[in-house]
Amino acid sequence: MVPNHHQSKGDMRPVTVRPLARLARSASVESVLGDLAEIAAGKGIDLHSIRVVRAGLDREFRSKEPAIATERVSELEIGVEGGQTRLVLQLRGSPDDAVKFEIEDAAHLAAHRIELLAERRLRPERAGKGRELSPVIEGLIGDSEPMRRIKDAIITAARCSSTVLISGESGTGKEIAARAIHHLSDRAKEPFIPVNCGAFVESLLESELFGYAKGAFTGATVNRKGLFEAANRGTIFLDEIGETTQGLQVRLLRVLQERKVRPVGAHDERDVDVRVIAATNRDLSREVSEKRFRHDLYYRLHVLPLRMPPLRQHQADIPLLIRHFLDLLGQRLSFTTRPEIEEDAVRMLCRYHWPGNVRELETMLERLAACAGEGGVITVGQVQAETFLTQKDASGDIEYVAVLRAGESLDEHFKRQELALYKIVRDSVGGNHSRAARRLGVERTALYHRLERARQQIFGGN
């Protein structure tokens, strides 16, 4: 099975990811509590109540089961260090520690969300500063530091109409990012028109983009609107912009400067209101210095740059991506069940260098699942044959990428890194806290307290 860091071992129902993602976006205290209760239920925890303790915001969520006087109830109390919110969870029975740690993780997230909601209400000028929560963007999977930065940049880009230049190797999700910007923007109800600039010769691309007037060339028997006009009020996605000729680059520059298009063979110009997103897998600044790409167009495009990281720089997302693709694959392959995968096979896939990035992961999984057949499990042997990695690679070193954030101190960085590394290790051992502690050579509860301190140092004292 694919490890899921939100689930305990022995309970592999896909119940926790959705409410957890929802919880991170919840807009009211009630929905945070509802999501937390759902997460607890998904982990098989019998929740008696959740109480929010915060001046002016005290709430209680109670399970529908009436309490029995003699039943055993244990209490978990989670506070936001430096904040004012505390959550008190009452659980029936005595769940094992691993499950308890997992629900504490979710409760922490809930407490922070409530704190953020309350802070927003009390001090509106601070709204939007809750950057500890990873934004959820439909279809774009990844919770690693590089993906969080991409998601933040997408959200920023969606709030305005400036031109975006997305760069990145093939298969890193440039198109998915472009679509996300459009769908999150106030142009979402208008068209999103993708154009592959590398797929046409110059004259054809020109008439596709700008349209043509009747009689402009042989075969132009009617006036035809171009794609810029078709995208009016919406977004045009100029994919593979690096493949355009110099002649076309001049015409594109004019549209970007003047927001007007003139169809081929026409005399009049037409106004267009189009948001331009361009993408390339070339290094455009190098293309400029080598005079293959016009510098004036480059600067017009390079208003909001978005650099998609190669998958080898966000390997921590691989287990999540595998889960996501396996969820989709059952249907695509017309299987009645979801394809499964051995944990060691997941670990091995995390070690691969992915020259074709997320697209390669997606197609490899499809091939592996198809070979495993309906009801089959993707094995280490299959992955080995595809990736040429050895078994040792699957179980040995864990490589991860660290990013020193702007303004971050050494101490803050290592505390944050400790949490990130713990997550990676926990994923690599099937989402189990005790096994992660063994792998890290730290006693289980000592590790728990250590992470708790790191968490408080990072999220506490605003």
Ligand X SMILES: Nc1ncnc2c1ncn2[C@@H]1O[C@H](COP(=O)(O)OP(=O)(O)OP(=O)(O)O)[C@@H](O)[C@H]1O
**What residues line the site for Mg ion (CB under 5 A)?**
175
Binding-residue pattern over the window 388 to 427 for ligand X, x denoting contact by CB under 6 A: ----------------------------------------
What gap in Å lies between CA 437 and CA 444, rounded to an integer?
5
Pairing of strands 235-239, 275-280: parallel
Neighbouring CB atoms inside 10 A of 322's CB total: 22
Q: Which two tokens stand for residue 20?
A: 């957890």
Report what 319 binds from ligand X, Mg ion, none; CB cut-off 5-8 Å by kind. none
CA pair distance 161, 273, nearest whole angstrom:
10
Task: Tell the smallest beta-carbon distance from residue 9 to ligand X (Å).
Answer: 26
Q: Is 357 left (phi over 0), alpha (psi -120 to 50) or beta?
A: left
81 or 175: whose CB is closer to Mg ion?
Answer: 175
CA atoms of 242 and 287, how far apart (whole Å): 8
At closest approach, how far in Å is the CB of 338 from ligand X? 17
Residue with token string 């607890």: 40
Among 3, 105, 104, smallest CA distance to 425 is for 3
Both tokens of 298, joined, read 């480059």
CB of 393 vs ligand X, minimal distance in Å:
24
CB of 372 to ligand X, least distance (A): 21
Q: What amino acid is encoded at 31 in this protein?
A: S
The reply on whether position 142 binds ligand X by CB under 6 A is: yes
Q: Which of 81, 132, 175, 327 binds ligand X (CB under 6 A)?
A: 175
Rule CB under 6 A: choose which of 53, 76, 140, 333 binds ligand X. Answer: 140
Q: Choosing among Mg ion, ligand X, none, which partner's interface includes residue 297 (Cβ < 5 to 8 Å by kind)?
A: none
Question: How far is the C-alpha of 174 from the C-alpha of 194, rounded, in Å?
Answer: 12
Place of tokens 């171009």: 226
Q: Per-residue contact track with ligand X, 242 to 271, x per CB under 6 A?
A: ------------------------------
- Write the CA distances from 397 to 317, 424, 444, integer angstroms: 17, 12, 21
Helix, coil or strand: residue 122: helix
What residues from 319 to 358 belong to the interface with ligand X (CB under 6 A)? 358
Residue 211 makes contact with ligand X by CB under 6 A:
no
- Measured in degrees and rounded to the nearest 5, phi and psi for residue 341 equal -145, 145
Q: Bridge partners of 237? A: 194, 277
- Count of residues binding ligand X (CB under 6 A)? 15
- Residue of 43, 54, 113, 174 that binds ligand X (CB under 6 A): 174
Q: Does 172 bind ligand X (CB under 6 A)?
A: yes
Taking CB under 6 A as the rule, does residue 281 contact ligand X?
Answer: yes
168 lies in the site for ligand X, by CB under 6 A = yes
Binding mask 359-388 for ligand X (x = CB under 6 A): x--x--------------------------
**Is residue 433 within 8 Å of residue 97, measured between CB atoms?**
yes
> Rounded to an integer, what distance in angstroms lies between the CA atom of residue 226 and that of residue 216?
14
> What is the smallest separation between the CB atom of 454 and ligand X, expressed in angstroms?
27
Residue 146 or 226 having the CB closest to ligand X: 146
Region near ligand X per CB under 6 A, out of 165-173, 327-335, 385-393, 402-410 = 165-173
Whichever of 114 and 321 has its CB closer to ligand X, that residue is 321
Binding site for ligand X (CB under 6 A): 140-142, 168, 170-176, 281, 358-359, 362
